Chains A and B, each alone.
Chain A
């Protein structure tokens, strides 16, 4: 959980854990916990976890704090971008060892325009300076992707090599600003302007643009079932769209109408998908509805009250002996 004003990132343990045994995983379910770990710095803006490490980027000074799974209470490793900016940091393991991809800006406060790769001591080992107006990051397989004004910048996490996937000629001023990656399908789902989505196949080097019937409020991809994108539009309609061919598989009226105006601090509906369910928050009604991910039929209504602001659905399947 990220509290930008308080300068703090804290961690919650959902209590769900899968213990791998090669051909199967054992599911362990315990009580959730608020972990006694606080990553502190000015204006935390982004966290990402992968391959046993979690990195938090702090906009206020461009610093990056990295902790390791199993050693969360040890002092974090501290890295830094060259200049403070609104940025991202993504940990990964390359053939040469653990690395962190850090966004970089030409001057303090400017929008980032590139990515440096740093080792755990903070030394820069590679850089791409070719991602104007960088915003948003996602990962599928060994590919880490960054949204840029003219393309999506792709980083091969194994080799550390950069490449670019350009936008189609009709893109105009649109760009990918947020990305989600699949785990079963090697694809990335991104927003693309206010009323379209983009599906990227980094191995084929292709990008499909899918138009929406109205402006988008939020979108989600169930990482373990990435053949379907879920998009909520401002008229309150939830859409299930095939990421494989762009067709609409189902749609349902999920919330009332919400306006996009007012900025990111306004509570609007959010989506999260996992375990065959799509959770849709409805701040005006103080509720969250769990929809079937296939038919989009409502399965359960949860009424936590208040004004739900953000949500994450976490689901694990495993064996119990």
Chain B
């Protein structure tokens, strides 16, 4: 009976979390004014057409 409580506590621990990093690149185009968000492998995730070449500034949160 003495071993029962430690065994129960161990069983209640959650699985170990995995530490991961996610990176995205926001890039604007001077030739054809757009803003695109790319994955780290270059895949295009979002494209927004702009009225003019766009400068970016940091928003509410920073990476």
How far is B57's CA from A314's CA once the two chains are assembled, in angstroms? Answer: 12
Instruction: Please judge, given known A-B contacts A12-B46, A304-B36, A309-B53, whether A267 and B24 are in contact too, CB under 8 Å.
Output: no
Pick the residue among A2, A4, A31 that contacts B46 (CB under 8 A).
A31
How far is B44's CA from A304's CA once the two chains are assembled, in angstroms? Answer: 9
B34 to chain A, nearest CB (A): 8
Indicate whether A257 reaches chain B with its CB closer than 8 angstroms: no
Which residues of B, 35-62, contact A by the 8 Å Cβ criterion? 35-38, 40-42, 44-46, 48, 50-62
How far is B27's CA from A27's CA once the two chains are assembled, in angstroms? Answer: 23
How far is B35's CA from A4's CA once the two chains are assembled, in angstroms? Answer: 15
Interface size on B, residues (CB 8 A): 44
A315: nearest residue on chain B (CB-CB)? Answer: B23
Pick the residue among B24, B36, B41, B42 that contacts A16 (CB under 8 A).
B24
A247 to chain B, nearest CB (A): 27
Whether A312 pairs with B46 at a CB distance below 8 angstroms is no
Whether A5 pairs with B27 at a CB distance below 8 angstroms is no
Q: How many A-B Cβ pairs are below 8 Å?
A: 174
Give every chain B residue within 8 A of A304 (Cβ-Cβ).
27, 29, 36, 38, 42, 44
Pick the residue among A224, A272, A279, A321 that contacts B14 (CB under 8 A).
A321
Pick the residue among B14, B19, B57 that contacts A46 (CB under 8 A).
B57
Give every chain B residue within 8 A of A54 (Cβ-Cβ).
59-60
A1 to chain B, nearest CB (A): 5
Interface size on A, residues (CB 8 A): 65
Whether A49 pairs with B48 at a CB distance below 8 angstroms is no
Q: Report B's interface with A, CB cutoff 8 A.
A: 14-15, 17-32, 34-38, 40-42, 44-46, 48, 50-63
Identify 18 new A-B residue pairs, CB closer than 8 A, beyond the known A5-B52, A49-B59.
A3-B52, A8-B51, A10-B48, A12-B59, A27-B20, A46-B57, A49-B58, A54-B59, A223-B62, A274-B63, A275-B21, A275-B63, A306-B30, A306-B31, A307-B31, A308-B27, A309-B54, A315-B24
Give me 9 A-to-B residue pairs in the complex whose CB atoms sit less than 8 angstroms apart, sorted by A's number.
A1-B56, A8-B51, A16-B22, A31-B45, A47-B57, A69-B60, A267-B53, A310-B28, A313-B26
